Amino acid sequence: MFNSLKGLLITLVSTMNGLRDPVTRQYPDSGTLGKRQDEPTPVQDRFMGFPALTWDGDVGEPFCTSCMVCIRQCPTQCMSSVMKDNPLHEEGKSSRRKIVDTFEINLNRCILCGICVEVCNFDAIVMTHEHEMSAFNRNSIRVDLPVLLEIGHKFQKETGWIPPTQRAKAQKDGEADAETAATGTDSQ
């Protein structure tokens, strides 16, 4: 009998704690049961939303060369792409010989696994924080190149995104500068 009352007391205490400070919330509500907040539930930095393409602001073109590695590795085959010759390469302004002409992702089929991001050699695709793209029609969640670039540009601006290859290079240069400063010698 004592153990039954003890179990009931533990249940009542955890219920009261859950009402005061719930662990989960009903989307899009935020705050606690007694104190609601107007701002939406924050998205964590590591959240993986829908994929998008990134924009190279230095050259003025997408990072994507349409090499189709992401398309071949996608388990659901939800992407399609076509490449074209890069006009900026012919002018000598870009190092990319080919560039994406069309790119489409069927977000209904995408399982948000992130494999496309991992296999991309050009830092061209990212998993954004975009997660609210519902629609009433079945095929209305097919997004094409301009929309993918718009979502990617928004993500880059909001997060201060730097391509991982440039980030690694900057970190490597920073370590070399720190080493030079510590030894007091110049490597030139």
Integer Cα distance of 18 and 146 in angstroms: 45
Q: pLDDT (tens digit, 9 = 90+) per residue, 45-92?
A: 888 999 999 999 888 899 999 899 999 999 999 999 999 999 999 899
- Please check whether residue 4 lies inside any domain of the structure: no
pLDDT of residue 103: 96
- Please check whether residue 150 lies inside any domain of the structure: yes
Count of structural domains within the chain: 1
Question: Taking the model in full, what pTM does it have?
Answer: 0.72
- We report the CATH number of the domain holding residue 55 as 3.30.70.3270
- Please check whether residue 70 lies inside any domain of the structure: yes
- Please check whether residue 42 lies inside any domain of the structure: no
- Please check whether residue 5 lies inside any domain of the structure: no
> 104: closest CA among 127, 132, 77, 131?
77
C-beta separation of 110 from 76 below 8 A: yes
Q: Please give the residue range of the domain that contains residue 152.
A: 51-164
Integer Cα distance of 168 and 172 in angstroms: 6
Q: pLDDT (tens digit, 9 = 90+) per residue, 5-24?
A: 999 999 999 888 877 776 66
- Please check whether residue 29 lies inside any domain of the structure: no
- Please check whether residue 3 lies inside any domain of the structure: no
**What average pLDDT is seen over the chain?**
86
Integer Cα distance of 112 and 100 in angstroms: 22
